[in-house]
Structure 1
Amino acid sequence: MANSNSRHELIELGKQAFNAKNYNEAVSYFSDRIKEAPKDSVTLQYLVHCYLHLGDVKEADAVLTQYSAYHATTTNYWLCKIQVAQFCQRLNDEYSAYQQLFHLEGERMQWLERYVTLCTSLHRFDEARTVLNKLIENNPVTEQKRLILWLNFYRGCERHLEALNCAKALYDTNPQSPYNLNELAVCYRLCGKSQEAVDILLSLACKKPHYAVYHNLANALSDQGKLSEAINWYKKALSLNPLYTDSHINLNKLLWESGNIDEYLTSFQNAIQAHPTAHHLSLAYADFLVDERRYADAISHLEHIEIPDYLNVAKRRIIAQAYLYAGRSSDALPILEKLTRDADTTAVDNITYGISLLNTENYPLAKEILSETIRQQPDNQLAKAYHYAATRLISDKFEGVAATVETFSYRPDDSEFWQQLIDEIMPLHASENNPLGQTLEKGTQTRGHLLRGNGKQLRKLKAFLDSSIKAYCENQRIDINTITDYDNAVNYIGSWSVRLSGQGFHHNHIHSKGKISGVIYLKLPAEIANEEAKAGWLKLGQPYLYESHELSPEMYIKPEVGKCVLFPSHAWHGTTPIHDDAERITIAFDVGQYGLDKS
């Protein structure tokens, strides 16, 4: 029928079908039209959009490839390439398409805002900052818009103090704006000021019911250890938006930690059953199961769901990780080989591939893959950690960690200091079960940013840690600018307390976002003193490998109350188990601006 219509009629009929959401019918009209007029860029754009609405990325890619000879020098063609890449979350492809678009048309304002976000997501922070300055200087941008742009940039870079300053200025432009209030509250919370966030969000929740407000309020309450209140607000958020993945994840983490096993995972399962085409939620559920170490369940779930082709990369990525963590590297390896050949492979894909190669004893190739990742991302702590493992597995000649580990001791004048400090932080240890996706066993961990708290003894401790970290930087010849914020204060990007009890311990791990990591001991069991058993001691230089391979620790450190141990964030560390039914309480932290300088 379509062939009997004129070219004009084909376009009009295609548009009518498109507007009526009859995308298969629209494809028929636009396909006929572009065969007759292969240079028609509007028809090409409609055809690509039809395929994206149908979830058929393969056909969208195919039609762009088929007609590239006619359109590769047109704006519409590269806009289509960008939309396809965004649809599939292929960030590197999207970045390349923007480069082509800018080459053709220049850097137009309507494209630059998304481009800044893209560069930030790809950790191209300097480029993002340069483009953002250009956008603001060369275009008519309101003060409110300028503040929003910088706020989003700083938050994307995890420069939360600078984001908070932007949020305060944005609030001053319109103190009644729900958007401004919500942004201010989020920034307060990310800076460790959870009570300020709660105060704003409780008021806003009454005036402006919205799932994001409820979710952010739950986050802030969770940071304060008020788990039951946080659970209720996450549930309210999901009642307004049952497809909001972050609320499902955070809710189920708290249900687990609070011992509410009856409700655990039901929000995910009910939402997936009610919305079978919510594929992002199904993938998030599988990813959550991997975090929970239910690897077989994650694989089974993914193997029994139908998912669009464009999400197959994400699906295969989760399956590969499940195989790896379950000790089945030989099953993970062919999946990862294919993923790393993909044009939009990620650093995480390469590192996971490298780990699988280590576990299948292909040490030279593993080292090669990890070396290339470090070349591209010199501050990637996880790549450094497994490169160290590969080097040790290949040869006894390697650069050890001992020279980079230093200890400092805090001796407060007040004999009650340590107990008073413990009293300040113990209300934050509100969970019953050890947290999911963390390295500790038989213990609890606080939420939020502990060292940004206002406790009297906590502030004293932080002053000691500040001076210790600065001394460490001087001793290790580390540029102080890489670990301080815009006020030249030590930039703690994360801090928390861990309470281990009988049989408790930490698996060997590294910290992927810091430059320097550390721990200070607040309370220890008596058995720590036994230098032969080394129960509860810190061990360094023993990589965590997922199968039978094991390397011995390079060194052990005997804990003492008041002892602070500092080391590079990529250094492997863990603890030996405690045997007595006694507590081991510590504060741990990461320092430094990962992948970003202060300029």
Structure 2
Amino acid sequence: MNETAAIDRAEALMAQGKAEEALALTAGLAAGATPSHMALAAHAGALKAAGHREEALAFDLQAIERFGSSPIAWHNLAATLGDLGRGREAVKACEKAFSLGLDAPETWNVYARALQASGDHNRAEYAYRQSLMRVGGAPAVASELANLVWMRRGDVAAANAVLDQAFHAGGSPTPLLLAKATLYEAAGDLPRAAALLEAASRQIPGDLPLLLAAAQTALRLERVDEAERYVLLAHGVDPNARSVVQCAAIVDLARDRADAALAKLRGELAVHPEDQSLWGWAATAARAAGDPLYGELCDYDAMVGAYDLETPEGWPSLDAFLADLGKSLKELHHYEQHPSHQSLRHGSQTLHLLSGSDEPAIKAFFRAIDAPIRQHMARLGRGDDPLRRRNTFDYRIQGAWSVRLRPGGFHRDHFHPEGWLSSAFYVETPDAALETEDRQGWIRFGKPPFVIDPPMPAAHFVKPKPGRLVLFPSYMWHGTVPFTTDESRMTIAFDAVPK
């Protein structure tokens, strides 16, 4: 197979989600003494698709050394730096690409993300709009800009206008409608989101993403009859789709049909054994059905660990370190509102990969958590369950962000389908709230986000304290008990995956 054919095949494999197969194809192309620009770019892309972003950076840098006059090489470098959370460096790489004549909408989008990560939100909005000027109907770009407008100003109408403009410029309606519904829900108007999805599902019959989003919104509103109607319509479109089977199982749980739900989920897990979302719902179904699988998946005493951080080198005490860490994080929390597509409510969240920060306290944090993560992996050991069988006793950080909750803030119950181990590290805690009888501000486990019959309360709680790291399986439902005291709560969270 010649180079062009191999690269085309690798791109097709990545589009199918077969990143490791693509990586095997591109590795040989990039390993020669003088690999081509295309070979280096393809291999870096395959590495990123497989989750190896740091390794991809080396090949992007090699492309810059050998093809430094190529604006595409600078674009690729900027994109990888952005993926690594190195916003300031990504900004410079984009500006170098522009200086070499590149004016692509994709580069303006990378530039916008890098500017946002760097805290330059005015220029980030400008860059997003420049991207949309060049390809006005791009739903993904419009959704990112709408989210930025919402987070900065809390203006639903202004964010909505961005999505409308993209539609009128030729954007595909489904992702824009889904972005609108998510925006309305984030703004606290779930009935408006439901009405939009109902109208959309009638206007675009047979659209699977719209039907499933409508079903989940109906479940949040405890409209189980509506949810079941949407699931039946989705089943008529594609009865074998994993997302349809999972949503049907969720409706079964709302109808007190736990055995049927568990049977559906077991069937999908036989085909997709690493799907964290399926395991999360399987745990719920097993708990409702009284099946021993629940104990295997949710052994809270063994699988949830709380570790108090040691003082990092360079600080006289943990309190001093946390004060510096808190100061660095607060400089990143510029937003007025929570992101439209995340679990928190009444607070703000950073959106770039925090482990790429060059702030001393943030860098020290990621060095300091290495020991407790390895301690937790050793404590888990190896086993046949879906958590332990993936344990390689090594890891890499998949995502890392910070959340700052205001009074009344909370995390909606959720799990992390892209992770293996997930976390909450407490920088500041609402101390008065934590002492209340109803455990305000505590992290809770086991409560699903949708209506379940019979109701399913949280099964496990951990009390936060500054400097405490809580680690748990990514498929495990978790959320924050809302707190009403006039305090704030600031955390760092990350997902780790086996390396």
TM-score range, shorter chain: 0.7 to 0.9
Q: CA, structure 1 residues 224+359, in 2 after alignment: closer, same or farther (shift >3 Å)? A: farther
Q: CA, structure 1 residues 150+471, in 2 after alignment: closer, same or farther (shift >3 Å)? A: same
Residue 322 (structure 2) aligned to one of 418, 423, 437:
418
Greater mean deviation of Cα atoms: 113-122 or 497-506:
113-122
CA-CA distance at 1:467 after TM superposition: 0.9
Matched with 2:484 is 579
Q: Is the Cα–Cα contact under 8 Å of residues 154 and 336 in structure 2 kept in the other structure?
A: no
2:396 equivalent to 1:503: no
Distance 2:56 2:50 in 1: 9
Q: CA, structure 1 residues 481+194, in 2 after alignment: closer, same or farther (shift >3 Å)? A: farther
Distance 1:318 1:564 in 2: 33
CA-CA distance at 1:113 after TM superposition: 4.0
CA-CA distance at 1:121 after TM superposition: 3.9
Q: What does the per-residue CA deviation read over 1:544-566, in whole Å, with 9 as the maximum and x for residues that have no partner?
A: 22466531222111111111111
Matched with 1:328 is 223
Q: Is the Cα–Cα contact under 8 Å of residues 522 and 585 in structure 1 kept in the other structure?
A: yes
Distance 1:211 1:303 in 2: 31
Aligned pairs for 1:43-54 within 5 A: none
Q: CA, structure 1 residues 396+377, in 2 after alignment: closer, same or farther (shift >3 Å)? A: closer
Greater mean deviation of Cα atoms: 154-163 or 429-438:
154-163
Count, aligned residues: 476
2:353 equivalent to 1:431: no
2:124 equivalent to 1:230: yes
Matched with 2:36 is 143
Amino acid at match of 1:235: R
Residue 87 (structure 2) aligned to one of 194, 207, 224:
194
SS of 1:387 mapped into structure 2: helix
So what's the TM-score if we normalise by structure 1? 0.73
Matched with 2:299 is 401
2:383 equivalent to 1:383: no
Q: What does the per-residue CA deviation read over 1:38-75, in whole Å, with 9 as the maximum and x for residues that have no partner?
A: xxxxxxxxxxxxxxxxxxxxxxxxxxxxxxxxxxxxxx
Q: CA, structure 1 residues 135+161, in 2 after alignment: closer, same or farther (shift >3 Å)? A: closer
Q: What does the per-residue CA deviation read over 1:381-437, in whole Å, with 9 as the maximum and x for residues that have no partner?
A: 111111011111112753133120111112423342111111111111010011112
Q: CA, structure 1 residues 129+368, in 2 after alignment: closer, same or farther (shift >3 Å)? A: farther
Q: Is the Cα–Cα contact under 8 Å of residues 419 and 496 in structure 2 kept in the other structure?
A: yes
Matched with 2:350 is 446
Determine what percentage of the aligned residue pairs are the same residue.
Answer: 21
CA-CA distance at 1:178 after TM superposition: 1.1
CA-CA distance at 1:114 after TM superposition: 4.4
Aligned pairs for 1:315-354 within 5 A: 315-337=210-232, 339-340=234-235, 345-354=240-249
Matched with 1:249 is 143
Matched with 1:366 is 261
CA-CA distance at 1:506 after TM superposition: 1.1
So what's the TM-score if we normalise by structure 2? 0.87
Distance 1:391 1:481 in 2: 20
Distance 1:365 1:346 in 2: 17
Greater mean deviation of Cα atoms: 528-537 or 563-572:
528-537
CA-CA distance at 1:173 after TM superposition: 2.5
2:437 equivalent to 1:532: yes
SS of 2:119 mapped into structure 1: coil
Aligned pairs for 1:74-153 within 5 A: 113-132=7-26, 143-153=36-46
Distance 1:153 1:395 in 2: 43
Matched with 1:467 is 371
Q: CA, structure 1 residues 468+498, in 2 after alignment: closer, same or farther (shift >3 Å)? A: same
Q: CA, structure 1 residues 521+318, in 2 after alignment: closer, same or farther (shift >3 Å)? A: closer
CA-CA distance at 1:268 after TM superposition: 1.8
Q: Is the Cα–Cα contact under 8 Å of residues 220 and 449 in structure 2 kept in the other structure?
A: no
Greater mean deviation of Cα atoms: 561-570 or 545-554:
545-554
Q: Aligned-residue CA RMSD in angstroms?
A: 3.0
Distance 2:74 2:433 in 1: 49
Distance 1:243 1:394 in 2: 47
Q: CA, structure 1 residues 459+270, in 2 after alignment: closer, same or farther (shift >3 Å)? A: closer
Matched with 2:174 is 283
Unaligned runs of 5+ in 1: 1-106
Q: CA, structure 1 residues 577+122, in 2 after alignment: closer, same or farther (shift >3 Å)? A: same
Amino acid at match of 1:457: A
CA-CA distance at 1:194 after TM superposition: 1.1
Q: CA, structure 1 residues 266+507, in 2 after alignment: closer, same or farther (shift >3 Å)? A: same
Q: CA, structure 1 residues 113+367, in 2 after alignment: closer, same or farther (shift >3 Å)? A: farther
Amino acid at match of 2:400: S
2:164 equivalent to 1:164: no
Q: CA, structure 1 residues 327+164, in 2 after alignment: closer, same or farther (shift >3 Å)? A: farther
Q: CA, structure 1 residues 164+565, in 2 after alignment: closer, same or farther (shift >3 Å)? A: same
Residue 466 (structure 2) aligned to one of 561, 569, 589:
561
CA-CA distance at 1:124 after TM superposition: 3.4
2:438 equivalent to 1:544: no
Matched with 1:185 is 78
SS of 2:425 mapped into structure 1: strand
Q: Is the Cα–Cα contact under 8 Å of residues 427 and 491 in structure 2 kept in the other structure?
A: yes
CA-CA distance at 1:317 after TM superposition: 4.2
SS of 2:494 mapped into structure 1: strand
Q: What does the per-residue CA deviation read over 1:306-356, in whole Å, with 9 as the maximum and x for residues that have no partner?
A: x5x8x8445444444444444334334354345456669543333222222
Residue 491 (structure 1) aligned to one of 396, 421, 437:
396
2:73 equivalent to 1:175: no
CA-CA distance at 1:360 after TM superposition: 2.6
Distance 1:584 1:219 in 2: 26
Amino acid at match of 1:526: D
Distance 1:115 1:338 in 2: 35
Amino acid at match of 1:430: H
Matched with 1:80 is none
Q: CA, structure 1 residues 116+524, in 2 after alignment: closer, same or farther (shift >3 Å)? A: same
Q: CA, structure 1 residues 428+346, in 2 after alignment: closer, same or farther (shift >3 Å)? A: farther
Unaligned runs of 5+ in 2: 186-191
Q: What does the per-residue CA deviation read over 1:166-190, in whole Å, with 9 as the maximum and x for residues that have no partner?
A: 2112222211111111010000111
Greater mean deviation of Cα atoms: 201-210 or 282-291:
201-210
Q: Is the Cα–Cα contact under 8 Å of residues 333 and 356 in structure 1 kept in the other structure?
A: yes
Aligned pairs for 1:248-327 within 5 A: 248-259=142-153, 261=155, 262-275=157-170, 278=171, 280=172, 282-292=173-183, 293=185, 294-303=192-201, 305=203, 312-327=207-222
Distance 2:202 2:239 in 1: 26
Q: CA, structure 1 residues 549+298, in 2 after alignment: closer, same or farther (shift >3 Å)? A: farther
Distance 2:267 2:26 in 1: 29
SS of 2:306 mapped into structure 1: strand
Amino acid at match of 1:199: K
Distance 2:29 2:281 in 1: 40
Q: CA, structure 1 residues 366+115, in 2 after alignment: closer, same or farther (shift >3 Å)? A: farther
Greater mean deviation of Cα atoms: 432-441 or 146-155:
146-155
Amino acid at match of 1:298: L
Q: CA, structure 1 residues 453+489, in 2 after alignment: closer, same or farther (shift >3 Å)? A: farther
SS of 1:497 mapped into structure 2: strand
Q: What does the per-residue CA deviation read over 1:284-321, in whole Å, with 9 as the maximum and x for residues that have no partner?
A: 1111123222423432552564x5x8x84454444444
